[in-house]
């Protein structure tokens, strides 16, 4: 057994009495409680060296082990750069080809693992979850109290986020896009979402979880490319990318929300053609988390962290006439 791949966690006094999947979802939120329960049923979890008893709540001092499947992991860009660090938090500039959390084939080839093994953060809690192909500022808490204080700010929408995005087409002026995000009907990509604009100032009762607001500001226009600043007011899955597709300003390099979602299906099967790559113009989506502003979880002082535009996006600008 590959000991390096095993996660070991001891149950603290305040965590005693919880169900196994509840404990793990709180400690390692990259999986939901339902997903942890499925992993337990599949034999990937051990409690005190043996199979867990679903009827027994965890006790203080119990050792929980997670043994992920030993499968080859795809290569990633592990060039993570620290932007800020203290005893409570660490913020890094995440590259554009690095998953944030373990999932699927990725375990050691993730930002979460690098924070543990390279930067010595025993239990990193990633607070703003960027997609694998999205680069930029990523904030992690080093202990539960800091994580709770930061998450409260995200929930209250007091954290200010800015993204730089390269999109096809032209945006003539500032645009506040408000509407609803939901499953993309008829799409062959299961996780794809669709944005539908609304004239309302806010969500209808019962639809709050689907409401999305993003401010887009034009920065410059170069050939058939627009450089935009995106300021999301809400934090929904694929919010910026799905909204820009609905506005007919697809993100360059985006295989799901670009000109042809078939690109994503061919990408999964390693069948992208030279024509596909030329259409994408960039190997990954041109979306970069450029700024994150929040209050420090320990003393409340204002924090503003910035990540410069990455080399691949700068190189795309250099190639334009």
pLDDT at position 29: 73
Is 124:115 a contact under the CB 8 Å cutoff? yes
User: Of 162, 97, 166, which is closest to residue 313 (Cα–Cα)?
Assistant: 166
* DSSP single-letter state for residue 104: T
Question: What are the CA-CA distances from residue 116 to residues 47, 125, 191, 315 (Å)?
Answer: 22, 10, 29, 31
Instruction: Provide the pLDDT for residue 41.
Output: 84
On whether the CB atoms of residues 194 and 246 are closer than 8 A, the answer is yes
Judge whether 81-158+294-303 and 163-287 match in fold: yes
CATH code assigned to 163-287? 3.30.2350.10
Architecture per CATH, domain 81-158+294-303, reads as 2-Layer Sandwich (3.30)
Q: For position 321, what pLDDT does the model report?
A: 60
DSSP string, 1-21: --GGG-EEEEPPGGGTT--HH
Taking the mean position of all CA atoms in its chain, how far away is CA 226? 24
pTM: 0.83
Report mean pLDDT in 10-residue bins for the chain, 321 residues. Answer: 66 92 83 84 87 90 84 90 98 96 83 94 91 97 95 95 96 96 91 93 88 97 91 95 97 93 87 91 96 98 98 87 60
Domain ranges of the chain: 3-66, 81-158+294-303, 163-287
Phi-psi region of 248 (alpha: psi -120 to 50; beta: other; left: phi over 0): left
Predicted local distance difference test score (pLDDT) of residue 5: 59
Q: What would the CATH number be for the domain defined by 3-66?
A: 3.10.290.10
Structure tokens at 267: 């990408």
């Amino acid at each position: 057994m590959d000991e390096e791949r095993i996660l070991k966690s001891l149950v603290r006094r305040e965590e005693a009495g919880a169900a196994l999947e509840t404990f793990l979802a709180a400690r390692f939120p990259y999986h939901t409680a339902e997903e942890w329960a499925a992993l337990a049923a599949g034999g990937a979890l051990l409690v005190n060296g043996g199979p867990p008893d679903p009827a027994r709540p965890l006790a203080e001092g119990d050792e929980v082990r997670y043994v992920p499947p030993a499968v080859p992991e795809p290569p990633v860009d592990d060039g993570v750069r620290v932007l800020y660090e203290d005893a409570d938090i660490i913020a890094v500039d995440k590259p554009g080809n690095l998953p944030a959390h373990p999932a699927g084939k990725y375990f050691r080839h993730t930002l979460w693992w690098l924070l543990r093994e390279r930067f010595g953060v025993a239990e990193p809690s990633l607070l703003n979850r960027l997609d694998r192909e999205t680069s930029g500022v990523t904030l992690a808490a080093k202990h539960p109290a800091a994580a709770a204080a930061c998450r409260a700010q995200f929930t209250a929408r007091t954290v200010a986020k800015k993204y730089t995005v390269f999109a096809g087409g032209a945006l003539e002026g500032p645009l506040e896009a408000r509407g609803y995000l939901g499953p993309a009907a008829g799409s062959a990509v299961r996780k794809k979402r669709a944005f539908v604009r609304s004239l309302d100032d806010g969500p209808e009762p019962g639809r709050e979880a689907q409401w999305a607001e993003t401010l887009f500001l034009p920065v410059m226009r170069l050939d058939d490319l627009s450089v935009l600043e995106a300021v999301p007011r809400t934090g929904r899955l694929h919010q910026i990318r799905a909204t820009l597709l609905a506005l007919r300003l697809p993100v360059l390099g985006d295989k799901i929300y670009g000109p042809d979602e078939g690109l994503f299906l061919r990408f999964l099967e390693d069948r992208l053609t030279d024509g596909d790559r030329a259409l994408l113009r960039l190997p990954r989506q041109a979306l970069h988390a450029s700024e994150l502003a929040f209050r420090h979880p320990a003393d409340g002082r204002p924090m503003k962290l910035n990540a410069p535009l990455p080399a691949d996006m700068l190189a795309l600008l250099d190639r334009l006439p």
